[in-house]
Amino acid sequence: MMGPKQEAQAALFYEFSLEDHVPQDHLLRSIDRFVDLNDIRRYLAEFYSHTGRPSIDPELLIRMLLVGYCFGIRSERRLCEEVHLNLAYRWFCRLDLSDPIPNHSTFSKNRHGRFRESALLRHLFEKTVAWCIADGLVSGQRLAADASFIEADANKQNSTPKEDWDRSAIDLNDAPRAVKEYLDVLDDAAFGAASEVEPKFISHSDPASQWTAARKGPAFFSYSTNYLIDTDHSVIVDVEGTRSIRQAEVGSVRTMLDRIKEQHDIDPERLIADSAYGSGPMLGWLVNRNIKPHIPVLDKAGRTDGTWSRTDFEWDPENNQYICPEGEPLKQFRRNYSDPNRKPTGKGVAKYQALKHTCQACPSKMKCCPKAEVRKITREEHEDARQFARDIAKTKQYKTSMRLRKKVEMLFAHLKRILGLGRLRLRGPCGANDEFLLAATAQNLRKLAKIFPAPQQTRKA
């Protein structure tokens, strides 16, 4: 039998509890148990005036931002609408049915103002890492690092070729925030100082972003988000925003390793990364820190013409010489210098060579140096560390590490596809860093919620 037609009838009184209407297995219920914002009022106190109108509760703004980043709601205007309509979002934000939602412009003021000045977003991120450590998700032994490009909020139409770019013409009194930030980070190792090479195009709206064509496809302006993760449970232990060039990305790993040591006393046994991180100085830095580099070595010493390459020569560290396949030594110096300043320093690139008359009479010359009179070999300053990494690459653990490395890439895929961070909404290095910190916080919170879901209440009979 067909029931009566549903008519909208406004009741005079409702008995309604948000608590009863949010499902027990809702993701936000699990996340809520790991969001501890009790200290943020104290943390932000000095950034508020003691006079004037009372502000919107910063805890509410942070909870709304977390909803946005956890569920891929990228627009602040849409976030306000969603929180207005969605009961679970209201519950998470501690808003009752009749409580008003802050205006979207409030976010902009706080994100660019107090939250940034107080480094609140980093504080929140570090707290999620501390939760993960306390809950046993981070052993801190096997860490993996990688970087991913995130498109900046900048377009080619609003850019200038590098030949026409004149930094000195920027009027500081009239410049937008992102342009002032660009000038501020010119000497920063993660941005301006990472390379002297100017990108092909420079954006007017966000000049610190990097014009990059590294992906197969059209070039675009971007920043790089750099992750350092613990491979046990793919927890992000640190995150850093940089310019999208290799030097800046490699440098950020050092910054992050130093920071996690200071913040969480994490001393990893190994660092897993791809060949972009396998330069001599980086491997040397890791080995000096007693971190095993599970990283493919960047090696250009191999030969393609079938002649013997450097690996065919045996290194004799005691005598500071190479031994060629014919048993002859290749030395850096053949004299004993009385002046210590003229002795090998161990820095920079060292050159080793055999004796000319030995090579000339050698039966293997055509296999060794067919076009040269004598065989020469160069040895980089960090060759010991490079050899250490090459030896690690022959082990079973290295194969495991290369599988674990994929975990960082999966986090980047999740970041872009599920959390919708394919393009930034905030401009400038600070805007990029803020977005990366919030996204990493959201990913860690979702991880905690997945591994430790909220306990389900048993249904009453």
Enumerate residues 6+ apart whose C-beta is below 8 A from 12.
Answer: none
Alpha carbon 211 to chain centroid, angstroms? 18
Closest to ligand SF4 by CB, 356 or 425: 356
106 interacts with ligand SF4 by CB under 6 A: no
Q: With beta carbons less than 8 A apart as the criterion, state whether 22 and 90 touch.
A: no
Q: Identify the three-state secondary structure at position 64.
A: helix
DSSP output for 74-135: --HHHHHHHHHH-HHHHHHTT--TTPPPPPHHHHHHHHHTHHHHTTHHHHHHHHHHHHHHHT
Among 118, 195, 358, 397, interactor with ligand SF4 by CB under 6 A:
358
Among 29, 243, 375, 407, interactor with ligand SF4 by CB under 6 A:
375
Q: At closest approach, how far in Å is the CB of 297 from ligand SF4? A: 23
Closest to ligand SF4 by CB, 82 or 328: 328
Q: At closest approach, how far in Å is the CB of 345 from ligand SF4? A: 25
SS (H, E, C) 373-390: CCCEEEECCCHHHHHHHH
Beta bridge partners of 321: 316, 331
Give the angle 53-58-60 at the CA atoms, nearest 5°: 110
Q: At closest approach, how far in Å is the CB of 373 from ligand SF4? A: 10
379 interacts with ligand SF4 by CB under 6 A: no
Q: With beta carbons less than 8 A apart as the criterion, state whether 249 and 195 touch.
A: no
Closest to ligand SF4 by CB, 130 or 323: 323
Largest Cα separation within the chain, whole Å, is 110
377 interacts with ligand SF4 by CB under 6 A: no
Q: With beta carbons less than 8 A apart as the criterion, state whether 194 and 253 touch.
A: no
Q: With beta carbons less than 8 A apart as the criterion, state whether 263 and 126 touch.
A: yes
Question: What is the C-alpha separation between 99 and 374, in angstroms, rounded?
Answer: 84
**By CB under 6 A, which span of 246-254, 351-359, 382-390, 393-401 interacts with ligand SF4?**
351-359
Q: At closest approach, how far in Å is the CB of 358 from ligand SF4? A: 5
Closest to ligand SF4 by CB, 129 or 324: 324
354 interacts with ligand SF4 by CB under 6 A: yes
Closest to ligand SF4 by CB, 291 or 350: 350
Among 273, 369, 415, 440, interactor with ligand SF4 by CB under 6 A:
369
**Which residue, chain included where needed, has tokens 């110096």?**
333
Among 362, 385, 437, 440, interactor with ligand SF4 by CB under 6 A:
362
Closest to ligand SF4 by CB, 342 or 376: 376
Question: What is the C-alpha separation between 207 and 216, in angstroms, rounded?
Answer: 23
**By CB under 6 A, which span of 79-87, 113-121, 200-208, 353-361 interacts with ligand SF4?**
353-361
Q: At closest approach, how far in Å is the CB of 369 from ligand SF4? A: 5
Tell me 4's DSSP state: P
- Pair of tokens at residue 302: 């191999």
Tell me 292's DSSP state: E
Q: At closest approach, how far in Å is the CB of 323 from ligand SF4? A: 9
Q: At closest approach, how far in Å is the CB of 315 from ligand SF4? A: 14
Closest to ligand SF4 by CB, 106 or 307: 307
- The answer to whether the Cα torsion of 327, 328, 332, 337 is positive or negative is positive
Among 151, 328, 383, 434, interactor with ligand SF4 by CB under 6 A:
328
Cβ burial 380-391 (10 Å sphere, 16+ → b, else e): bbbbbbbebbbe
- Pair of tokens at residue 457: 């209440």
In the chain the first and final C-alpha atoms are separated, in Å, by: 30
**By CB under 6 A, which span of 86-94, 167-175, 336-344, 352-360 interacts with ligand SF4?**
352-360
368 interacts with ligand SF4 by CB under 6 A: yes
Q: At closest approach, how far in Å is the CB of 372 from ligand SF4? A: 9
Count the neighbouring beta carbons within 10 Å of the beta carbon of residue 277: 22
Q: At closest approach, how far in Å is the CB of 326 from ligand SF4? A: 4
Among 365, 379, 386, 447, interactor with ligand SF4 by CB under 6 A:
365
Q: At closest approach, how far in Å is the CB of 319 from ligand SF4? A: 16
Q: At closest approach, how far in Å is the CB of 335 from ligand SF4? A: 20
Residues of this chain, 285-324, that bind ligand SF4 according to CB under 6 A:
324
Beta strands at 142-151 and 350-353: parallel, antiparallel or unpaired: unpaired
Tell me how many residues contact ligand SF4 (CB under 6 A): 13
Closest to ligand SF4 by CB, 344 or 370: 370
Which stretches of the chain bind ligand SF4, using CB under 6 A?
324-326, 328, 354, 358-359, 362, 364-365, 368-369, 375
